[in-house]
Homo-oligomer: A and B are copies of this chain.
Amino acid sequence: MSGSTFGTIFKITTWGESHGTGVGVVIDGCPAGLPLCEADIQQYLNRRRPGQSRFSTPRQEADEVTIQSGIFEGRTTGTPISMAVFNKNQRSSDYSEIASYYRPGHADYTFDQKYGFRDYRGGGRSSARETIGRVAAGAVAAKLLEQMGIHFLTYVKSIGPITCDPSLSHASEIENNPLRMPDAAAAAKARQYLDDCMKAQNSSGGVVECIVSGVPAGIGEPVFRKLDSELAKAVFSIGAVKGFEIGDGFEAAKATGKDNNDAFYYDENRKVCKKTNHAGGILGGISDGSDIILRAAFKPTPSISAQQETVNRNGETITIHVKGRHDPVIVPRAVVVVEAMAALTLADLMLADLGARMEYVLDFYKKR
C-alpha cells in the first residue's frame, strides 16, 4: 500500500533510492503565489549534506536540487511542485556481499520479508538519502510559515550521555560547531566522546530538539489529527527515531498536577499567556500560542565497522564488518530533517484551520 505520501492539504510524495537515478518529491497543495526558487531549497538541503565534518560520512554529494514544475515567474502556481536531486556519486561497488546478508539494526531483513526482495545498493529506499525529498519539501513549508511569522530553532540536545545545559545554550552557537549543539562546552565533550566511539569502531545516538515560535493558538484538528499526534507521526517517520516528546514529555509522567499545569494570565496587551510551558505549546491537541517544543531520540547509527553477528540468506549465522562511509552519529545531520517534518506538519494543519469557523468561511466568500 502507498506510504510515501504525507499530509492532507499540503501533501508531499517522495520517491527514490540511494543508488538509483535520484531522489525527489512532489508537493501538491501549496497555495499559489509563494515566492520560491531553487536557492530556497538548496540552503535547506545543504544543512543535511554529508561531508560537513569528520563526524559525518566523507561521501561528497552536492545534492543539487532542480525544480521541475509548479513555479512560474518566481512564484508557486498552486499546481504540483516537483523537485529532484539526481544521484552523482554512486560508487560502482560490488554489492554481492551486502545482498546476501542482513545488517543488524537495518531494514534489510524486514524489506525482504515484506517485498520478497530488495534494492540492496546502499540501503535502497531505506537509505537516509530518502530524507532529501522531505527536506526539499520542508524548505517550501518553512518558507510559507516564515511569511506568517513562524520560526524554527532546531539543534542537537544530546549526543550519547552528553546533554546541553539550557542555561549555557545559545542559538548563535548552533551553527558554530559541527555537532549543532547550542552549548559550546557540551559540544566539546561530545566531540571527544565521538572520537572515542570512532576509535572503537562504534557509533552514538542522540537527541534533537525543535522549538517553533509564532504559531497562533488554534492549530490542530481533534481528535486523531491533533497537532502533537501529527508531529509524533511526522518525526517518527524519520529512520532511527525511537522516542518522541512534547514539552516535558516523559518527565511529565513523574510530575504532579500542581507542578505540571501551566497557569494562564493576561499580559499587558490583554493577551492570554501561560506562566510556564510544561505543555510544550499544545493543549488538547491544539496549539495554545506558546512555543511548540518537541524532542526526538535517535538510536546510534547501526552501520559500525566493528565485528557483528548476523545471518545470511543461505541459512547461516555469520560475522560481518559493515564497510562503507558512514556517519558515527546521525543527529547533527538529522536536525534539518526534524525541522522539515515539523514544518510540513504545521503547514498542513494551518491550512486545515482555514475552515474551522463559519465566520471565516463567510468572510472569505463575501470578498470573492
- Please name the residue on chain B nearest to A248 by beta carbon: B242
Looking at the assembled complex, report how far the CB atom of A213 sits from the nearest CB atom of chain B, in whole angstroms: 14
Looking at the assembled complex, report how far the CB atom of A16 sits from the nearest CB atom of chain B, in whole angstroms: 5
- Please name the residue on chain B nearest to A259 by beta carbon: B300
Q: CB < 8 Å: which of B206, B289, B354 contacts A361?
A: B354
A33-B357, A247-B242 as given contacts; A221 in contact with B1, CB under 8 Å: yes
Cβ contact within 8 Å between B222 and A286: no
Q: Which residues in B have their C-beta under 8 angstroms from that of A2?
A: 7-11, 28-29, 221, 225
A181 interfacial by beta-carbon distance below 8 Å: no
Cβ contact within 8 Å between B144 and A358: yes
Q: CB < 8 Å: which of B20, B79, B80, B288 contacts A69?
A: B20
A178 interfacial by beta-carbon distance below 8 Å: no
Separation of A236 and B102 alpha carbons in the complex (Å): 32
A236-B228, A257-B202 as given contacts; A69 in contact with B222, CB under 8 Å: no
Interface-facing stretch out of A44-52, A168-176, A304-312:
A304-312
Q: Which residues in B have their C-beta under 8 angstroms from that of A182?
A: none
Cβ contact within 8 Å between A78 and B356: yes
A9-B355, A32-B117 as given contacts; A79 in contact with B124, CB under 8 Å: yes
What per-residue 1/0 map shows which CB atoms of A199-237 lie under 8 Å from chain B?
Answer: 010111111000000001111111111101111111111
Separation of A261 and B286 alpha carbons in the complex (Å): 37
A263 interfacial by beta-carbon distance below 8 Å: yes
A110-B218, A315-B266 as given contacts; A115 in contact with B356, CB under 8 Å: yes
Looking at the assembled complex, report how far the CB atom of A241 sits from the nearest CB atom of chain B, in whole angstroms: 8
Chain A residues within 8 Å of chain B by Cβ, number: 170
Q: Which residues in B have their C-beta under 8 angstroms from that of A241?
A: 228
Cβ contact within 8 Å between A255 and B300: yes
A299 interfacial by beta-carbon distance below 8 Å: yes
A130-B223, A249-B243 as given contacts; A216 in contact with B365, CB under 8 Å: yes
Q: CB < 8 Å: which of B21, B202, B216, B225 contacts A368?
A: B216
A250-B297, A263-B104 as given contacts; A16 in contact with B222, CB under 8 Å: no
Cβ contact within 8 Å between A82 and B249: no
Q: CB < 8 Å: which of B10, B256, B264, B280 contacts A242?
A: B280
Separation of A309 and B274 alpha carbons in the complex (Å): 10
Cβ contact within 8 Å between B226 and A361: no
**Residue contacts A-B, CB under 8 angstroms, 17 given:** A13-B26, A72-B124, A78-B114, A79-B124, A109-B217, A113-B216, A116-B357, A205-B256, A232-B244, A243-B250, A244-B244, A250-B250, A255-B299, A257-B304, A261-B300, A263-B309, A354-B355
A59 interfacial by beta-carbon distance below 8 Å: no
Separation of A84 and B315 alpha carbons in the complex (Å): 40
A183 interfacial by beta-carbon distance below 8 Å: no
Cβ contact within 8 Å between A4 and B222: yes
A78-B356, A79-B17, A257-B300 as given contacts; A223 in contact with B237, CB under 8 Å: yes
